[in-house]
């Protein structure tokens, strides 16, 4: 179990990137969902011991993460948002080198570890290829391979599917789902579908604060009967925003589809729709923006 209690982080320029974050994250996949600039990466770097919070406490099992960062690192696998180790050496040789850095001293143990990870991430056939020549999806799978060295008990992946094509995204998500059966995996992302597909529990972060937490299916069920949709002309959007709580807009077949949140029929020709995690997410962000206009936060 990873526990965060009242974690706050204020950068030297006064930016409050995290504001009293409290979370309990059990074994399995946990989705941290939020827009760019919400504080996700700051929170992930803090948990990964790359920076210390201004206030608060973080524990992982019996480890005081802030006081004992080295103990946490021994159990941590981390794939940051900008994983930039793409040298002109082979995937095999790079993983072998990283295994040495993680303390796998035995050559036989390293060989078994590297071969297992290359097969697990479906990179065995390109093990002799330079990482610099990998596609985006292959690089992300290599990133997971290096994060899994040493059998970590806590794995953090920050925006792992951004920029991947649909096939690579599915392959990567399937890999994460397999990994997340026995350890704590935190998936930090702004992509709602990734959380909906993988995570039995999640939280929404915005403006550095946790705005919503729970099981996606429960959150969707709680919104049932409150989501309404209508196709409108683009020029009518401002008028609709004045009359209704518009939570999202999108284009479909050249028309603007708006979703609004209302406990009863909002009128104006809206039709009830089942709603989904995207509606839950966007309605949460909409409420946050109305109550607390953004002052600009770190990533």
What is the DSSP secondary-structure string of 29-50? EEEEE--TTSSHHHHHHHHTTS
How far is it between the farthest Cα atoms of the chain? 70
**Boundaries of domain holding 277:** 223-291
Q: Which residues of 264-299 are buried (b: 16+ CB within 10 A; e: fewer)?
A: eebeeebeeeebbbbbbbbbbbbbbeeeeeeeebbb
In a domain? residue 117:
yes
Q: Are 261 and 274 part of one and the same domain?
A: yes
Which of 173, 194, 219 finishes a domain?
219
Element (H, E) at 139: helix 136-147
Q: Which pLDDT value is given to residue 112?
A: 95
CATH number at residue 184: 3.40.50.300
Q: What pLDDT does 296 receive?
A: 46
Give domain status of residue 296, yes or no.
no
Q: Residue 236 gets which letter from DSSP?
A: G
Question: What's the CA gap between 127 and 148, in Å, rounded?
Answer: 16
167-181 residue pLDDT tens: 888 888 888 888 888
d(CA 115, CA 127): 9
CA distance 221 to 276: 9
pLDDT profile of the chain (299 residues), mean per 10: 97 94 95 93 95 96 96 92 75 93 90 94 94 88 91 91 82 85 91 91 96 95 92 91 91 88 92 92 86 53
Beta strands in the chain (DSSP E): 2-10, 16-25, 28-33, 55-60, 63-64, 76-79, 154-158, 184-189, 201-206, 209-214, 227-232, 246-252, 255-261, 271-272
Residues 97, 101, 102, 103, CA torsion sign: positive
Residues 12 and 91 in one domain: yes
The pTM for the full model equals 0.87
How many domains is the chain built from?
2
Q: Are residues 23 and 165 in the same domain?
A: yes
End-of-domain residue from the set 170, 189, 219: 219
Phi and psi, residue 234, nearest 5°: -55, -40
Evaluate whether residue 103 is within a structural domain: yes
Per-residue model confidence (pLDDT) at position 286: 86
Q: Which of 171, 203, 219 is the last residue of a domain?
A: 219
- pLDDT at residue 167, rounded to an integer: 85
Q: Exposed, middle or buried by CB within 10 Å (0-12, 13-18, 19+), for 32? A: buried
């Amino acid at each position: 179990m990873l526990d965060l209690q009242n974690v706050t982080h204020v950068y030297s320029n006064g930016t409050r990137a995290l504001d009293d974050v409290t979370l309990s994250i059990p074994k399995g996949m946990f989705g941290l969902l939020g827009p760019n600039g919400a504080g996700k990466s700051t929170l992930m770097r803090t948990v990964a011991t790359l920076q210390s919070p201004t206030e608060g406490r973080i524990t992982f099992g019996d480890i005081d993460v802030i006081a004992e960062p080295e103990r946490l690192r021994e159990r941590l696998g981390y794939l940051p948002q900008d994983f930039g180790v793409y040298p002109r050496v082979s995937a095999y040789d790079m993983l072998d080198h990283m295994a040495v850095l993680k303390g796998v001293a035995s050559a036989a143990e390293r060989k078994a570890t590297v071969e297992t990870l290359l097969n697990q991430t479906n990179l065995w056939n390109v093990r002799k290829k330079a990482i610099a020549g990998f596609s985006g999806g292959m690089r992300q799978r290599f990133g997971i391979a290096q994060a899994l060295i040493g059998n970590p008990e806590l794995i953090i992946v920050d925006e792992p599917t951004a920029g991947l094509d649909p096939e690579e995204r599915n392959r990567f998500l399937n890999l994460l789902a397999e990994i997340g059966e026995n350890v704590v995996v935190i998936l930090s992302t702004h992509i709602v579908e990734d959380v909906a597909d993988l995570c039995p529990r999640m939280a929404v972060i915005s403006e550095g604060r946790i705005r919503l937490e729970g099981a996606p299916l429960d959150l969707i069920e709680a919104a049932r009967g409150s989501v309404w949709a209508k196709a409108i002309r683009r020029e009518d959007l401002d008028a609709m925003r004045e009359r209704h709580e518009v939570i999202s807009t999108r284009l479909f077949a050249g028309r603007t589809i708006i979703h609004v949140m209302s406990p009863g029929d909002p009128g104006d020709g809206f039709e009830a729709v089942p709603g989904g995690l995207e509606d839950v997410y966007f309605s949460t962000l909409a409420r946050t923006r109305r109550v607390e206009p953004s002052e600009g936060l770190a990533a």
